[in-house]
Structure 1
Amino acid sequence: MQCRHSMPRFDGPPTRATWGARCGKSARRVLRGGTGTSDIVARPVPTHHNVQHYLLLEKVARRVQDDDVMRLLKMILKATGKKGVPQGGVVSPLLSNLYLNEVDRMLEKAIQTTRREPYTHVQYARFADDMVILIDSHPRHDWLARAVEQRLREELAKLKVKINEEKSKIVDLAKGGSFTFLGFEYRRILGRNKKWRPHYAPKLKKRTALLAKLKEIFRQNVSQPVERVIEQINPILRGWVNYFAVGDSSECFSFVRDWVEKKVRGHLMRARERSGLGWKRWSRQGLYGKLGLYNDYRLRRPWSLPKVQPAASVT
């Protein structure tokens, strides 16, 4: 779902690190920001986002003086029971952002009070109820990591929201650690210029899920013309690639492209009751040109990408 119209009265003052269900704040825009430092400790913080209805209604009532709107909102929330917001509901992302605004303000304050130009020792990004906090890993900032975690727990406690301890962890990128966020795996690598830089690419689980979904389509259409198979897999490939076409996804894309090409070749050969992959019989130009197999695996600059949501359809 994309933001088509701005609703500042509901949404509250957005922060630069809050993404999703806000105009100009699609998932991929998260990836345009840097870490500010090369040595960071990252804490992915998924939460058990059990929204308390009375707290949410209080927050909405401060901004909206309309009995009809409040009555409608109560009806929507009532459908979910005593807590939570409707999964997939039209207003659910908006309500989630409003509910967590105080957490955003707290983290923004931590960023400003610890900033020492030109360095930023704390950064964070939140997409709905998934959050990652980045902290300079220098030993002199050990206190900062503890302080931010304590304040985060305090703010979440006020909202009756708990950190998902099973999925939350602390990783030190300077020591080879990695974390996942919005379908990407993040780590630190030594670049060609001998300087450390962030590296992010589709996590293995996302690639495996994509190939499993495509494999099932090939299986279900084993006796169908290859054109029918390509007609079904092209939209899936296009959507998946469009989302992940940033960062360091080239190696993953090459793997997917080769895998799909071999599956198409195998399908063609089985239709002729032949073995092998038909490397001499069908050129790549024939597969991608004549048959129209999807072939746009280029990486894009983040600001030139179409606005898409996280690749949640392939999990």
Structure 2
Amino acid sequence: LVLKLIRRYLQSGIMINGVVNEAEEGTPQGGPLSPLLSNILLDRLDKELESRGHKFVRYADDCNIYMKSKKAGEGVMTSITSFIEKKLKLKVNREKSAVDRPWKRKFLGFSFTNHKKPKVRIANESIKRLKSRIRQITSRSKPSPMEVRIEKLNQYLTGWCGYFALADTPSKFKEFEEWIRRRLRMVEWKQWKTPKTRVRKLKGLGVPDNKAYEWGNSRKKYWRIACSPILHKTLDNSY
């Protein structure tokens, strides 16, 4: 029954723009069947690596093998590529395959620090995606109530922080928090728009009149103002 279901999945085709197209080979990327079939087919790879005594980690068709030297890594890459293609009849993506230092590679969004006792860290590509998404939510050019922005941030960051909680780099999370709060202060300052409104808002937050006039009429860029002592004190975490 299980094999019949798998066969039906494979032969069901792919829907493109509402039209079903026949699938000649492979499985739809991102579909639930892809990781299942990967685990079934690559179980033999796991056993082969275990029998050789190699340290490795694999998720679906993404696999990292850890060796003590570059020479050993190159030898294993050649032999394992041959095993996968000849024994398992699968294609190895050579563009994504490489022998490299662990801290220069990523796996499921994680990487390692370059220390004698390495720590798990968030990969640079994952950080870039995080910042790109945060910039979208806190864009100055897209008018949106602060409550809506914060709700979107909370939804995104709850999942993101939960996933990357395994990373042993707490300083990065503190750095992200400070950067996000600065982005929010920048948005708030932009939404106050005119010097008159900014002066009134600052005075309402307890800023002395002379300082409120000085900063309210400042010509500094939004990003610089967002990092100023005056906004740090007035638009704090409680605000």
TM-score, normalised by the number of residues in structure 1: 0.56
For residues 157 and 42 of structure 2, what CA distance do their matches in structure 1 show?
Answer: 34
Distance 1:209 1:149, change over 3 A: closer
Where does the alignment leave 5 or more consecutive residues of structure 2 unmatched? 15-22, 199-215, 217-224
- For 1:145-294, list aligned pairs within 5 A: 145=73, 147-157=75-85, 158-172=87-101, 178-189=104-115, 196-219=116-139, 222-273=142-193, 274=198, 276-277=225-226, 278-284=231-237, 286-287=238-239
Where does the alignment leave 5 or more consecutive residues of structure 1 unmatched? 1-65, 112-121, 190-195, 288-315
Cα deviation for residue 220 of structure 1 reads 7.5
1:13 is aligned to: none
Matched, 1:95 2:37: yes
Cα RMSD between the aligned structures? Answer: 2.4
TM-score, normalised by the number of residues in structure 2: 0.72
Cα deviation for residue 94 of structure 1 reads 1.5
1:118 is aligned to: none
Higher strand proportion (structure 1 or 2): 1
Question: Could you tell me which of 50, 64, 71 is aligned with 1:132?
Answer: 64
Instruction: State the SS of the aligned residue for 1:132.
Output: strand
Cα deviation for residue 172 of structure 1 reads 4.2
CA contact (8 A) 1:102 1:155 kept: no
Distance 1:270 1:160, change over 3 A: same
Aligned residues: 196
Distance 1:128 1:245, change over 3 A: same
Cα deviation for residue 185 of structure 1 reads 2.2
For residues 153 and 106 of structure 2, what CA distance do their matches in structure 1 show?
Answer: 26
Matched, 1:74 2:7: yes
Higher helix proportion (structure 1 or 2): 2
Moved over 6 A (4+): none
1:312 is aligned to: none
Larger radius of gyration: 2
Distance 1:215 1:197, change over 3 A: same
Distance 1:145 1:185, change over 3 A: closer
CA contact (8 A) 1:222 1:267 kept: no
Q: Which of the pair has the greater relative contact order for Cα pairs under 8 Å at 6+ separation?
A: 1
CA contact (8 A) 1:135 1:145 kept: yes
